[in-house]
A and B are shown apart, each in its own frame.
Chain A
C-alpha cells in the first residue's frame, strides 16, 4: 500500500518534470506569437519576457516552476493574465459534467449489453449488439457528433446547435437540452468498448466448473449470472472504467469542439497555440494527476474485488 502511494507520488514528480521540458522541446517564442503582426517595440517584448520569466536560463526557469508548483501556485496564463488555477477551475465543471455523465452512461449501457450478449451467445441480440458496438466504437466521435448535430439540431431543430446554455438564461432544463447531444455522442462513442470487453470476459468464464456447480445447486439462471459469473468476469471492465475515469478530466477535444462545449479539452487546444506554457503545464498536471490517482485507486480496489490480488 505505502509502496503504491510512493510510486504514484514518484510518477507525479516525473510528470511535473516532463511537462516542463516537453513543451519546450519545440523552439518557439510565446511573446513573439502573442504579438505577431503588430508593431511592438523590441523593448516592450523584452519587458514581457522578463515578466514571464522567459529571459532566464532553462534550469533557472525550471527551478522557479518546480518551486511555485510545489507551493500550489500554477502560475499565470500568458493569454488571459489570470491565474492558471482559476482558469482551470472555470473549465472543470463543464468537462466534468459532460465526460463524467457520458462515462457513467457508456459504462452502464455497455456492461449490461455485454452481459446480455455473452449470456445469450449467438442470439440475434448478441449479433446485433456486437455489430452496433463495433460500428460505434470504430466511428470517430466527432463524426458521430456532426451526424447527430445535422439530424437533431439542423434538420429536426429539436435541440440547440451547441454551447452550454442559452444566453437568455433558460435554466436547468435548458442546460439539460444543451447537454443531450454531446453526451449522447460520447456515450455512443464509448459504450461499445465496454460491451465488447464485458462480453468476451464473461464468455471466458461461462464454461467454468463453478458455474456448473452453481446450476447444479438449482440456482436460477439470473442468480448464477449475477452472483457467480459476472463478479468473476468484471475485472477487465473495472480496469477500463478506471482508465477512462482518469481521462474524464482531459475531456474530449473533438466533441467539445463540435458542440462548442467550453471545457478543459478546448482549453488545451487553445493553450497550444501560444504556446501558453503555464496553462499547458497546469492542464497536463491536472490530467496526469487524475490518471495517476485513479490508477492508484484501482490498484487498491482490485484487492477488494479479487482477493487474489495482493495490495501489500
Chain B
C-alpha cells in the first residue's frame, strides 16, 4: 500500500525539528508475550512529515502507517498476492461490481475498543467523500459502501474493478477520527495514535528519530522484536558508518556508490528494484498547448533516437552497474505486469542505423552537420531539460547529447529544479526531458499517464501525459484492462499496451535504478524481500519484515555494538531543552575558564622575561 512519488521527490530528506513530540502518553503496549526486548534500529535519510495518514506524503510516513494500521486485504510478501488482514475472506458477484468482505471479529484498537465493520465503512466512505488524496484513487469508484452486520463489508462499483480485493486504505478508528471534521482532519497531528497494527508509535523526536513499540496483543501474534527505532541521517556516509559501527542494524536508501564501503561478511546488501524507471521523454506535440519540435511528432525520428541510446553504457557508466537497462515502461512494482521486449522488436544501440532511418525519412544534414525538416526548415535542435534533484540526470543528459550529436541532432541543455521543470513540462514548452516515474502495484495509474485523456489542455490542469502522446489503440487497451477481471487476460492486454509504447517511443526508458538497503546479518535475521528476489526488505509495500525479524542469538557474548542485545531503556524525552541550557552554561564556563588560564599563563611568562 505504498505509493511513491517520483524518485527525486522521494529522496527529499525530511530533516526537521528538534523537540520531542509528546507521544505515547496513552497505554503504551508493554513488551511482553512473544516479543523480546530486542531493539531493531533502522537508518533512514527521511523523517516523517506527518503521522496523520490524511496529511503525510513521504515514504517514511507510510512506513509508520504500515506498521501501526491494518488494511482489509494485504499484499503477500513474496508475490504481492492478496492475503487476509482485517478481512479473512472475500468474494465477488459474477459481474465483478459487488465485493463482500468477511472481517475478523477479534481485533482491537490500542485503546481497547473493538475494530468493527463500522470503522471500515467509516474510513472508506470518508476517504471517498472528502477525497483524501492518499486514498481517493482506490475508493473513488465505489458507489456504495455498507456493513450489513458487524463482521461484513460490501462495496459496490459502477464498473468491474480488477484491483479488488485490494483496497489499500489504512482503516482508522471512527471513535477518534469523527472528532475532526473535514476542515480539521488534515491538521490533526495523530502523534498519540489509536492503532490496530503490530507496532505503535511511542516516540517521535522530530528530525532525529521515531520509535515503534510492539503490540503484544496483535491478532497475528506479537512481533519478535520489542522495538523498532528509526534514526534520521543527514548524509549517506554517516549512515554507512553507523551501520559498520553497529549504531544501526539496517539502512534504507543508501547511496549505491557507497556499496563498496559496507562490504563485509556481517553486512548483507540488498539491491532492490521498486519499479522506478528513468526515461527520456519526447514532446510528441498532441494537444492544444505546447510548442514541441515538429520532428518529434514523427515516430521515425523517435525510433532513431531510441537506436542512438546505449542503455548498457548508461547503466555501467552513470549508475556504476547498479541498475537494469531500460525495457518498456515499467507499470508496476510487481514484475508480472512488466513487459520484456522480444529481441526482434528491441531498438539496439546502433548509430549507423539511426542515421540511415533519419536519412530515409528525409531529414537531410545541413552544412553544419545538423539535420533539418524534410522541407529544409527547422533545424533539429532540441531544447533538452533535466531536473537537478538527482545528480545522475546530468550525467545521463551528457551521454545522450553526445549520441544525438552523432546522428545530426543538436541539443540545448538546461538544468531546472523540479519545481521549475514541472510547469515547463505541463505547458509543453520543451522537446526532450530526462526524468523518472515510480509506479504503484496497480498498473492502471502508470498506464493512464500516457493516454489521450491525460494530455494537458491548459498547462495547469494537473494532467500527466508529459510526452503529449495520443494513440487510440493504446487507449483502447488501457480501457479494457481497467475492467478486465481475468488476470491472465489483463496481463496480456497490459503487455500489449507496453509494446505499443515501446515501438512508438514517446518515452525511451533508460534504466531502472536500484535502491540500496543493507542489514547486519550478525545481529538480526528474518528479513524478507517484497516481492521476492527483486524487492526491498524494508520500506516495501506492506513491510512484512518487521513482523519476522528476530535477533541473532549471540554465541560470542555480544559484539561491539549494543542495540540488538541492549535493554529497552525507557526514554527520558524532554531532556533536550534542559540539556541545551546546561550545555550553554558549561560552554560559557569552559570558554571563560580557558581564557582566564591562558591570560594567567602568559602573564607569568611575561614576568619571567
Contact = CB atoms under 8 A, between A and B. Distances in A.
A157 B560 CA distance: 10
Q: Which of A26, A149, A222, A267 has the most CB of B within 10 A?
A: A222
Interface in B186-238: 186-187, 189, 203, 205-209, 211, 229, 231-235, 237-238
Given A32-B462, A41-B140, 8 more contacts: A29-B422, A33-B422, A36-B5, A39-B445, A91-B207, A96-B580, A168-B569, A171-B572
Interface of B: 3-6, 9, 12-19, 39, 41, 49-50, 52, 55, 57, 131, 133-134, 136-137, 140, 186-187, 189, 203, 205-209, 211, 229, 231-235, 237-239, 241-242, 244-245, 247, 417-420, 422-423, 437-438, 445, 448, 460-462, 560, 563, 566, 569-573, 575-580, 582-584, 586-588, 591, 594-595, 598-599, 602-603, 606-607, 609
Contact of B16 (A104, A146, A161, A266): A266
Closest 7 A/B residue pairs (Cβ): A262-B207, A28-B419, A260-B234, A169-B571, A39-B137, A266-B15, A154-B241
16 contacts: A28-B420, A81-B50, A81-B55, A92-B18, A105-B587, A108-B591, A112-B598, A149-B237, A167-B231, A167-B571, A169-B571, A171-B575, A175-B575, A220-B603, A260-B234, A260-B238
Contacts, number: 256
Given A222-B603, A270-B13, A167 B205 contact: yes
B187 A262 contact: no
Contacts of B247: 160-161
A74 to B, nearest CB: 15
A299 to B, nearest CB: 25
B107 to A, nearest CB: 29
Q: Which of B4, B423, B438, B577 has the most CB of A within 10 A?
A: B423
Contacts of A179: 583
A2 interface: no
Contacts of A175: 575-576, 579, 583
Contact of B206 (A38, A90, A150): A90
A104 B241 contact: no
A90 to B, nearest CB: 5
A1 B582 CA distance: 35
A154 B246 CA distance: 11
Contacts of B607: 220, 222
A205 B591 CA distance: 26
A101 interface: yes
Nearest to A35: B133
A104 B234 contact: no
A79 B48 CA distance: 10
B50 A258 contact: no
Contacts of A41: 131, 136, 140, 462
Contacts of A92: 18
